[in-house]
Amino acid sequence: MYALECAMDELAAKVGIDPLELRLKKLRRAGPERRQAVLEQGTPRLLRQGAERFGWARRNPQPRSMREGDTLVGWGMASGAWEASQLPAAAKAVLTADGKLTVSSATADIGTGTYTIMTQVAAELLGCRWTT
């Protein structure tokens, strides 16, 4: 992802277009209809909103042109999406005679806290104290 975003910034500089506008043009050419609708409705609005809040229009667009003393200051942008397919899911809960509850599911935690929140939800719903 990082390499692609760097290449987008380099391409924008090479052809003389704002990196934000280049990404917006790329989004308009996105794939399947369902994804297309999401991209057209949400992502451009969010990119523009972020650029406005960050002060994107006030930056010097020339690469390596902004400094604070001897330090180069770079302003770049990147966007990304995690396509999370929603498929049927199941979980298994086992309550042992000694009162231990184990809830399991075939999930992947990529560092976003999936295991923790699933533990908290199960404990809350079942009125249990939880530990990880």
What does the pLDDT look like over 8-26, one tens digit per residue?
A: 888 998 999 999 999 888 7
> Identity (one letter) of the amino acid at 94?
V
CB atoms closer than 10 angstroms to residue 69 = 5
pLDDT of 81 over the 60 cut: yes
CA dist 22 and 11 (Å) reads 9
> Identity (one letter) of the amino acid at 97?
A
DSSP output for 7-29:
HHHHHHHHHT--HHHHHHHHHTT
CA dist 82 and 1 (Å) reads 11
